[in-house]
Structure 1
Amino acid sequence: MPRGEQHVTIENKRSERSGRDLSSLRGLAGGGVHLPGDEEYDRARTTWALAVDLRPAAVAFPDSAEEVSAVVRAAAAAGLRVAPLGSGHNAHPLGDLADSVLMRLSGMAGIKIDAEARRARVEAGALWSPVVEAAAAHGLAALHGSSPDTGVVGYSLGGGISWYARSLGLAVNSVTAVELVTADGSPLRVDAEHEPELFWAVRGGGGANFGVVTAIEFTLYPIETAYAGMLVWDLRDAHRVLSRWARWATDAPDAVTTSYRHLGYPPIPEIPEPFRGRQLVIIDGAVLADDAEAERLLAPLRELGPEMDTFGRVPAASLMRLHMDPEQPTPGGGRSSLLDELPPAAVDRLVEVSGVDSGSSLFMKAELRQLGGALGRSRPGAGAVTRLDGRFQLITGGMMVGELARQTVADCERVVDAMAPYSRGRQYLNFQEEAVDPSTGYDPSIWEALLRIRKAVDPAGLFQANHEIPRG
């Protein structure tokens, strides 16, 4: 097991916040290092999550694993930590970076598709959209998320809920190898035969807790089309639609993966006419079955008379835009939790706090992602997160701008608190946009193993993750 060698000096140097000489960082990463006061510093520290105000000691943009290694060594020598970041969708919990180098990996975006082996190798800064398109050119599909511009590595190593998830499981369980730079600056490739314990830990423990991930490899699937789309109702219909969907989702076969949402759209030209200025219920998702079977499965929802029904046979690559997630940086944020069953009382409560009369300021008043199926079953040889301990993932969110941020947080917490009686307090950390106890994302025995492995590979605590595993 690789071990960092800087633990004697890092702790002492870390407290020397004033008068630190960071000039040794400037020539690294091809000159792509920005310090406070530099003209490009503010741009460099801005992530996809615009509401997050990160102020690191330095920002580095390496373009290769070799440059990552050089920055890691220089940061350790300067008494700094290293916080790796891809797109920055979930940068919210990172916290204080005054003693850290923010490692921006957007320049490392290489993609290689091995169609014969049905495998992709993707560098640390790659986003899902080009990966999905590259795989689709070979009739293959990846277990991508609902946003085209989410970073592949962070999404995958934290879990990854795709539109095929109830059939094929979490995306992390399809990861076959991880390349990373360890605390002493050494490059390392881990898989089932090489450093299997570390390979287990990074698959679900998050790569940034154990090093700077520079690339991952994962399995692709022979999926060219899916029966997918959305059903839309006015938010006034929420109670009858949610009552039906909650029962239907619990009993649906693994071929079905859907999401249920209460959404409020602003009256602005950028919003398509059918949604502009309206409050809606939307069920979207995909069915991995032939048309006749998919129509049979969806019939109970269609009986409710949606005003819009776009379900049909579509190219698999189109699913990455099915959810209509924003494709540009946004000043948003939210809260989430894992839920168990949704009895009638839970349906009543969710409609009360996120329905048409709730007074909510939120754009995404509430979303429930359908779990279960393969998401609820452990897989042999999988990593630290092999399944999700819940039947539904609750998500709620809104804009975090100025005074509106306070109202957004209050409204988000109102929804999550209202549904707390239907949760066991477990978390899916990929959707946690606030600092929480990271142990709530794992079974106790898995958490203890992650603590031990983190201490072994990074004894000085060089690496800083958004949901950080303590080093002992």
Structure 2
Amino acid sequence: MGPSTRGGPMSLTTTRIPGFRGRLIAANDDDYDRARAVWNGSVDRRPGLIGRCSDTNDVATAVRFARAHELEIAVRGGGHNVSGTAMCDDGIVIDLAPMRDVWVDPAKRIAYVQGGALWCDVDQATQTYGLATTGGIVSHTGVGGLSLGGGIGWLMRKHGLTVDNLVAAEVVTAGGEIIRASATDHPDLFWALRGGGGNFGIVTSFRFALHPVGPTVLAGPVFWAAEDTTDVLRFYRDFLTDVPDELGNIVRLGTIPPLPAISPELHFRTAIAVASCYAGPVRYGERLVRALREFGTPLVDLVAPTSYVDHQASIDDTVPHGWHYYWKATDLTALSDEVIGIVAEHAYRATSPRSYVAMFHLGGAVGRAPSDATAYNGRDVDHNIVIDAAWLPEQDETVAATETAWAREFLDALQGHRAGVYVNFLDSDDNASRVHDAYGDNTYDRLADIKATYDPENVFHHNKNIQPVHARPAPGLEPLRP
């Protein structure tokens, strides 16, 4: 049974799912519009039913119900993916949002995280014990989506990607079975989950390895005027040549956000920023970033000792829920003079003061992992870049067209310097070839084979979809019987 093309919301003859203990929300409920809203306000989809799950059994029950009624299935964790795959038209949304609990075993340095948790939930729970794992740079991002795509963040150079810290996962399959994936249980599925996205099942809980971090870290951005961009990026490239793994860096180009710590006269001024987080003793970090802070004539320097939890949430307000977003992204072959010139030329052409460009420094532990250790495929990349167009929901279509055109033109200008792409940065109009680019031939073929084992009928296709190559049941699993 493949994706159904029949019916719509009215094809659901009931709003009751036998055995489902969570809350079901239909189009006539007062909070339906709130329940179908996701982070990207430009996404406007109308599911027939939203099932807010209370536990893993609810997830499995909802999957079996959807299969029996030939309903489209979308899966919502944090709802933060820019392409809005957490929602579908018609069908059912299996919503994990109520499942946000986090348990920490400080002795074993393990966190047990439910599939609907946000990174703020994880950071707050683990930092109680001075521990952390690599998470997203926006704390209202969902754990599930970020983790399954790879997981880049401040700690990745020291402690690896989020997927490198995944120890085990509880998964609901396309047949509504509940199984465990780990290095010893369904190891093929475990490999695929670590970078292959939501193609293979619904992860209802994660088990992550933790590391000593903080609770105080040296972190924050330094801003320079936009006209200094070329000089700053060339200095930055040289600065990175011998930095230790403890130092994470992200470059941001756009306007200075109106943060409380920044003087109002600098708000929305075009600027380049280099933000850092040193995951080690503050005194060592201060010596390390001194050269960066003293380069040129900074407009503002916000580098300071801060709690790791606060740093993780420091840019939350610059990318709030409900704005309209459109992304284009690529891995970069090198941070060459030519690439620097293209970035400096295009970064400030956006007309919306909320649009920006982010460039992530990888390497370190990310690059030392074997290329086939996980399904994440960008191990040999030093930098990737995401071009984030953003505008307010009340702005007209002219603004939307202008900002999306800026993002596309910027990506096109980088054509000769593009490698792969981070799958979590792909937007809704990135086609199947770009999904393939996120993995490369060998990894994609391996993922397609595993997809055929665990989801041969492509039930889970509201994602950056990987097509199954052929159908066979997973070992120990029976195919769904109608």
Identical-residue share of aligned pairs (%): 29
Distance 1:405 1:451 in 2: 35
SS at match of 1:332: strand
Question: Larger RCO: Structure 1 or Structure 2 (Cα < 8 Å, ≥ 6 residues apart)?
Answer: 1
Task: Write out aligned runs for 1:49-60 (5 A).
Answer: 49-60=40-51
Distance 1:19 1:240 in 2: 56
> Partner of 1:3 in structure 2?
none
CA-CA distance at 1:114 after TM superposition:
0.7
> Partner of 1:219 in structure 2?
209
SS at match of 2:334: coil
AA in 1 matched with 2:54: D
SS at match of 1:439: helix
Q: Is the 8 A contact 1:168 1:374 kept in 2?
A: yes
AA in 1 matched with 2:62: V
Distance 2:281 2:32 in 1: 52
> Partner of 1:144 in structure 2?
135
Distance 1:387 1:269 in 2: 36
Task: Write out aligned runs for 1:405-424 (5 A).
Answer: 405-424=400-419
> Partner of 1:319 in structure 2?
311
Distance 2:132 2:11 in 1: 48
> Partner of 1:286 in structure 2?
277
Distance 1:385 1:458 in 2: 20
Return closer, same or farther for 1:266/1:449 CA change in 2, 3 Å cut-off. closer
CA-CA distance at 1:155 after TM superposition:
0.8
Return closer, same or farther for 1:147/1:96 CA change in 2, 3 Å cut-off. closer
Q: Is the 8 A contact 2:41 2:321 kept in 1?
A: no
Q: What's the CA shift string for 1:274-304, capped at 9, x where partnerless?
A: 6423222211011234445433432332232
Q: Is the 8 A contact 2:384 2:421 kept in 1?
A: no
What is the count of residue pairs matched by the alignment?
458
Q: What's the CA shift string for 1:238-271, capped at 9, x where partnerless?
A: 2221221133235433222101111225789998
CA-CA distance at 1:318 after TM superposition:
2.6
1:176 counterpart = 2:167: yes
Distance 2:175 2:336 in 1: 52
Q: What's the CA shift string for 1:409-431, capped at 9, x where partnerless?
A: 1011122122222112x110112
AA in 2 matched with 1:233: W
The TM-score normalised by the length of structure 1 is: 0.89
Q: Is the 8 A contact 2:82 2:325 kept in 1?
A: no
CA-CA distance at 1:149 after TM superposition:
0.6
Task: Write out aligned runs for 1:181-220 (5 A).
Answer: 181-206=172-197, 208-220=198-210
Query: Which is worse superposed, 212-221 or 41-50?
Result: 41-50
Q: Is the 8 A contact 1:250 1:391 kept in 2?
A: no
Distance 1:320 1:268 in 2: 15
The TM-score normalised by the length of structure 2 is: 0.87
1:392 counterpart = 2:383: yes
SS at match of 1:155: helix
Query: What stretches of structure 2 of length at least 5 have no aligned partner?
Result: 470-482
Distance 2:51 2:144 in 1: 18
Tell me which of 445, 465, 468 is aligned to 2:465: 468
Q: Is the 8 A contact 1:166 1:254 kept in 2?
A: yes
Q: What's the CA shift string for 1:308-341, capped at 9, x where partnerless?
A: 2232333322320244543544322221111121
1:344 counterpart = 2:337: yes
Tell me which of 93, 97, 105 is aligned to 2:88: 97
> Partner of 2:109 in structure 1?
118
> Partner of 1:4 in structure 2?
none
Distance 2:58 2:280 in 1: 46
Return closer, same or farther for 1:100/1:463 CA change in 2, 3 Å cut-off. farther
Distance 1:54 1:306 in 2: 44
Tell me which of 80, 91, 111 is aligned to 2:71: 80
Distance 2:261 2:306 in 1: 25
Q: Is the 8 A contact 2:22 2:54 kept in 1?
A: no
Return closer, same or farther for 1:282/1:265 CA change in 2, 3 Å cut-off. closer
AA in 2 matched with 1:218: F
Distance 2:87 2:125 in 1: 37
Q: What's the CA shift string for 1:394-446, capped at 9, x where partnerless?
A: 1121325431211111011122122222112x110112223333111113222
Return closer, same or farther for 1:23/1:381 CA change in 2, 3 Å cut-off. same
SS at match of 1:244: helix
* Backbone CA RMSD of aligned residues: 2.6
1:430 counterpart = 2:424: yes
> Partner of 1:335 in structure 2?
328
Return closer, same or farther for 1:210/1:37 CA change in 2, 3 Å cut-off. same
Tell me which of 61, 66, 73 is aligned to 1:70: 61
SS at match of 1:23: coil
1:376 counterpart = 2:367: yes
> Partner of 1:258 in structure 2?
249
Q: Is the 8 A contact 1:284 1:323 kept in 2?
A: no
> Partner of 2:478 in structure 1?
none
Query: Which is worse superposed, 29-38 or 217-226?
Result: 29-38
> Partner of 1:22 in structure 2?
12
Distance 2:328 2:377 in 1: 23
AA in 1 matched with 2:312: M
Return closer, same or farther for 1:155/1:266 CA change in 2, 3 Å cut-off. closer
Distance 2:303 2:97 in 1: 35
Distance 1:107 1:98 in 2: 22
Distance 1:147 1:176 in 2: 23
